[in-house]
């Protein structure tokens, strides 16, 4: 028999599990060892040997290997071996960089792995989906991605979208009844089954895992999922195009060097080898790899700051963000709702305590009261527990932990303060049917049966405006009374007053059912209700959010609050956080519904709070901001948030409360659901982009300097300032470690004081192109000066002059690297701040000194010992490009400030 043909008890016997308590942890571990992890097999990884070999497929490296072969055939064995050593060393560096990037990706996948809520030893636990085993009882609700093949045991208005398997985009209603048929049903017709990879779009249910990992239906077609597309960011594409231009320019200039050298009478072989070495050094073939590593390092730093990047383009887009549309609850606030005010039967009570700890007292005015003796209050608290899906569990040290929605947790905590617990109520009452909360209805209802007398009634809770529209009775002096328009206005006025105190309000109502009456739809259940009362709760703002919003303001980023709360509640919180300026507007969901995207775009720049909105409204908000050319970051956690998250320039999902579908639609996941993390991610995104600009500036300026020193020498008829092996060594020593260290640089102090950069900004914007050319020209000029000065003063000692040129070029680049750390000047930052860069520079200097002073290497690198006088010349010359140009820049900056002050005085 197939699973869908079996009754629940047959499935239980076949799987050998316990529907009441689930599997014990020990049994689950045994099954995990026997059958393996619940995941699809990864695609084949590139073997390490082939990964290493792939480092040598670059055209210029192949040319260099050919030159090495020619050197060997001509008897230049030392040169050949040294060049081969440098090529191998470069290959190993590239290999380890790719391995690091691969490991970063693997850790990202592990961090973003979905979880499942399973029943283990009678307790519901959240575990990584890959640890689930056949026999586990799984609970799921709207927004959950199903992690294994399940036979459903319970289904409450549960709909599942199965397009990943069936291609059908419409959600399918699920049931738990056995399908007694002898026909073989297609996956889409197996109504009591839920399959791995499909999505719960509505309702909730409980199921038993009957297949896991590669034995699932998804596992049978896993070959479709093994192909992973390599995501290339727009920045990487722009740099790839730039690389092609630079290669053409470098080859042209290198060819000119070789041509001029041969015309000047230099040996053809020597010039050929020097030309190839210069081309290898000049072409930034490592640029894409370094960008990838910089992005990977940045992503790791963002993970440490609780921001998990799912899509690499988000990293660079973060630096362009101009608007952050943030949910209120849990992101701007602490997400620890606390009931402070209760209203029923024309009486207002206050309750003390905070968070989910059930410690607090009830007061009527200033008088402490016993809630058990206040029947309307007791009924209001009891119904808040019955119509509730959350659980408050007591852990060690008397600490209570919430599993579920914070609003529902607040209702449970308030009831516990009065001595009303879920476990005690469930001994007297039974939940027969649930109509789950829906963001469009803004209500949840349950059908409750009294076990003692068999009577049944409906309890509804939700937004007061919606609940009140569905009520026609209310409690008055302990009895039901007709609710007219006057009474409704009084309740609405109370809601307004509580909202102005930043309280979120939940209304509770009920209706007694006649014998045999069983509503099938929400519409049938949620009508002709009797209004019980209101529970007012507060979710205080996170302390760290105040500073984060202020920093975003200074960075030119507008923060917008989006919430389903009452407009006055949202306004009060926004004003408290300092995000609603004088003249800033608050817009409600009803106002949003009455306007088009085009109409909204005309006023959206003045709106700072969107209240009483549904998740569907978020898409309209995103489009309106984008119509104003904003780069929008949008947060969300629910299924209905997914379209807006996907449409935003930067979609942000909540890691703790977010549904799997929201996370999959997002490009960034906040593991702590905190607004401060969004600010930190934007700061890190800006810094990553800055770091990429830094080492592009450094590498290109260094390469320009290397080419120009050779080109100028050949054009002026000078001897070769550098031999091939020295050029290759400079490329290895100066381009490798220092460039990587720049990618690990901390953000500048003003990174969050600048306006967002334009999304189409050129990599050479803000005078970067001028800095590359001017520094490169100066590096080449001072190196040639040091070479010619030494050559003339030493009686044309070419090896000594080449050694001085070699040291000058290395030192000029290593001094220049500190200038690259700032957009301003070398004097703007502490040079010892980046310890990785200091270490890289010291290592490079040590390697340079080894080839200059270590006798066995002197013959290989054509170097000789240098005196103090030589080093004075080297250091003085090498400092000029950075110190002189930075000094000029500083003087020009002060002069500009002086003119600005003078203008202001006038």
Tell me the residue length of the chain.
906
Half-sphere exposure at residue 620, Cβ-oriented, CA atoms within 13 angstroms: 24
Question: What pairs with residue 446 in β-bridges?
Answer: 434, 459
Name the one residue in this structure whose structure tokens are 């209760």.
342
- Largest Cα–Cα distance in the chain? 116
φ/ψ (deg, to 5) at 537:
-135, 160
Integer Cα distance of 282 and 707 in angstroms: 7
Helix/strand/coil for 753: coil
Integer Cα distance of 211 and 190 in angstroms: 15
The two beta strands, 632-636 and 650-654, are: parallel
Helix/strand/coil for 625: helix
> With the CA atoms of 626, 632, 635 and 641 taken in that order, what torsion angle do they form, in degrees rounded to the nearest 10?
20
Integer Cα distance of 80 and 69 in angstroms: 7
Integer Cα distance of 633 and 695 in angstroms: 28
Question: What pairs with residue 138 in β-bridges?
Answer: 118, 207
CA distances from 802 to 122, 709, 714, 726, 784 (A): 79, 12, 14, 9, 10
The answer to whether 660 touches 669, Cβ cutoff 8 Å, is: no
The answer to whether 122 touches 22, Cβ cutoff 8 Å, is: yes
Task: Report long-range pairs for 666-670 (Cβ below 8 Å, ≥24 apart).
Answer: 666/310, 666/636, 667/309, 667/310, 667/311, 667/313, 667/314, 667/317, 668/307, 668/308, 668/309, 668/310, 668/311, 668/314, 668/318, 669/112, 669/307, 669/308, 669/310, 670/306, 670/307, 670/308, 670/331, 670/635
Integer Cα distance of 442 and 640 in angstroms: 13
- Scored b (16 or more CB within 10 A) or e, 361-376 reads ebeeeeeeeebeebeb
The answer to whether 613 touches 564, Cβ cutoff 8 Å, is: yes
Could you tell me the sign of the dihedral formed by the alpha carbons of 153, 158, 164, 170, in that order?
positive
Integer Cα distance of 53 and 47 in angstroms: 10
Identify the burial level of 901 via C-beta atoms within 10 angstroms of its C-beta, where 0-12 means exposed, 13-18 middle and 19 or more buried.
exposed
Q: How many helices (H) and strands (E) does the chain have?
A: 33, 28
The single-letter DSSP state of residue 301 is: H
Q: Which positions are annotated as active-site residues?
A: 327
Identify the burial level of 672 via C-beta atoms within 10 angstroms of its C-beta, where 0-12 means exposed, 13-18 middle and 19 or more buried.
middle
Query: Distance between alpha carbon 1 and the CA centroid of its chain, in Å?
Result: 45
User: N- to C-terminal Cα distance for the chain?
Assistant: 93
Count the helix, strand and coil residues of the chain and give each as a percent rounded to the nearest 5: 50, 20, 30
Integer Cα distance of 11 and 27 in angstroms: 18
Helix/strand/coil for 704: helix
Give the Cβ contact number of residue 900 at 10 Å. Answer: 10
């Amino acid at each position: 028999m197939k699973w869908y043909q079996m009754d629940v008890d047959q499935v239980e016997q076949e799987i050998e599990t316990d529907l009441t308590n689930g599997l014990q942890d020990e049994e689950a571990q045994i099954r995990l060892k026997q059958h393996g992890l619940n995941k699809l097999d990864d695609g084949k990884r590139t073997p390490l040997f082939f990964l290493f070999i792939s480092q040598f497929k670059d055209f210029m490296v192949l040319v260099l290997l050919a030159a090495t072969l020619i050197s060997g055939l001509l008897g230049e064995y030392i040169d050949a071996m040294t060049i081969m050593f440098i090529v191998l060393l470069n290959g190993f560096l590239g290999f380890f960089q790719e391995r690091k990037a691969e490991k970063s990706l693997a850790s990202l996948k592990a961090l973003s792995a979905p979880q499942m809520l399973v029943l283990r030893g009678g307790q519901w636990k959240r575990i990584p989906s890959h640890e689930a085993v056949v026999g586990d009882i799984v609970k799921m609700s709207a927004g959950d991605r199903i992690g294994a093949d399940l036979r459903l045991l319970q289904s409450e208005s549960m709909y599942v979208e199965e397009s990943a398997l069936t291609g059908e985009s419409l959600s399918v209603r699920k049931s738990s009844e056995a399908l007694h048929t002898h026909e073989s049903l297609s996956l889409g017709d197996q109504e009591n089954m839920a399959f791995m990879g499909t999505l719960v779009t509505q309702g909730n249910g409980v199921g038993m895992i009957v297949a896991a990992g590669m034995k699932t239906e998804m596992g049978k077609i896993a070959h479709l999922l093994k192909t992973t597309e390599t995501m290339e960011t727009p920045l990487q594409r722009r740099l790839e195009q730039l690389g092609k231009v630079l290669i053409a320019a470098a080859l042209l200039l290198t060819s000119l060097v070789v041509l001029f050298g041969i015309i000047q009478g230099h040996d053809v072989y020597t010039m050929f080898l020097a030309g190839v070495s210069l081309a290898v050094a000049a072409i930034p073939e490592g640029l894409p790899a370094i960008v990838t590593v910089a992005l990977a390092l940045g992503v790791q730093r963002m993970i440490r700051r609780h921001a998990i990047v799912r899509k690499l383009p988000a990293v660079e887009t973060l630096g362009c963000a101009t608007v952050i549309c943030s949910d209120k609850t849990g992101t701007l606030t602490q997400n620890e709702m606390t009931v402070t005010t209760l209203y029923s039967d024309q009486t207002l009570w206050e309750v003390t305590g905070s968070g989910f700890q059930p410690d607090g007292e009830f007061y009527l005015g200033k008088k402490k009261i016993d809630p058990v003796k206040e029947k309307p209050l007791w009924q209001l608290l009891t119904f808040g527990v019955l119509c509730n899906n959350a659980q408050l569990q007591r852990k060690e040290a008397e600490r209570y932990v919430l599993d579920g929605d914070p609003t529902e947790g607040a209702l449970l905590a308030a009831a516990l303060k009065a001595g009303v617990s879920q476990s005690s109520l469930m001994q007297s009452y039974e939940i027969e049917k649930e109509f789950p909360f829906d963001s469009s209805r803004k209500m949840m209802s349950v059908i409750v049966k009294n076990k003692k007398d068999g009577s049944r009634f409906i309890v509804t809770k939700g937004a007061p405006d919606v609940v009140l529209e569905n009520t026609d009775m209310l409690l008055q002096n302990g009895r039901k009374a007709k609710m007219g328009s006057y009474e409704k206005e009084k309740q609405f006025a109370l809601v307004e007053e509580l909202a102005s105190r930043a309280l979120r309000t939940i209304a509770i109502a009920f209706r007694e059912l006649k014998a045999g009456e069983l509503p099938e739809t929400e519409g049938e259940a949620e009508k002709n209700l009797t209004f019980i009362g209101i529970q007012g709760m507060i979710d205080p703002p996170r302390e760290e959010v105040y500073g984060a919003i202020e920093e975003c303001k200074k960075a030119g980023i507008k923060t917008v609050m989006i919430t389903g709360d009452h407009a006055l509640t949202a306004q009060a919180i926004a004003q408290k956080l300092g995000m609603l300026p004088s003249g800033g507007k608050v817009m409600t969901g009803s106002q949003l519904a009455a306007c088009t995207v085009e109409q909204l775009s005309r006023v959206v720049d003045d709106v700072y709070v969107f209240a009483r909105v549904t998740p569907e409204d978020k898409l309209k908000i995103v489009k309106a901001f984008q119509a104003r050319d904003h780069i929008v970051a949008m947060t969300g956690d629910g299924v209905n948030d997914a379209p807006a998250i996907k449409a935003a320039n930067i979609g942000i999902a909540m890691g703790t409360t977010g549904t799997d579908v929201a996370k999959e639609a997002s490009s960034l996941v906040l593991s702590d659901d905190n607004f401060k993390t969004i600010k930190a991610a934007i700061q890190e995104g800006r810094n990553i982009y800055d770091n990429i600009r830094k080492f592009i500036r450094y590498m290109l300026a260094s390469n320009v300097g290397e080419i120009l020193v050779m080109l100028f020498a050949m054009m002026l008829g000078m001897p070769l300032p550098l031999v091939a092996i020295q050029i290759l060594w400079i490329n290895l020593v100066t381009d490798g470690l220092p460039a990587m260290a720049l990618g690990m640089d901390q953000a500048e102090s003003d990174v969050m004081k600048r306006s967002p950069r334009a999304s189409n900004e050129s990599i050479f914007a803000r005078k970067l192109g001028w800095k590359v050319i001017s520094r490169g020209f100066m590096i080449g000029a001072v190196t040639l000066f040091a070479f010619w000065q030494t050559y003339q003063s030493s009686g044309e000692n070419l090896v000594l002059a080449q050694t001085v040129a070699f040291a000058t070029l290395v030192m000029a680049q290593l001094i220049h690297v500190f200038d690259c750390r700032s957009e301003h000047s070398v004097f703007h930052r502490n040079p010892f701040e980046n310890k990785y860069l200091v270490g890289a520079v010291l290592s490079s200097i040590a390697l340079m000194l080894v080839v200059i002073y270590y006798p066995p290497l002197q013959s290989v690198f054509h170097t000789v010992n240098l005196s103090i006088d030589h080093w004075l010349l080297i250091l003085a010359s090498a400092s000029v490009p950075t110190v002189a140009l930075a000094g000029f820049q500083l003087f020009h900056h002060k002069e500009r400030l002086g003119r600005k002050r003078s203008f202001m005085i006038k």
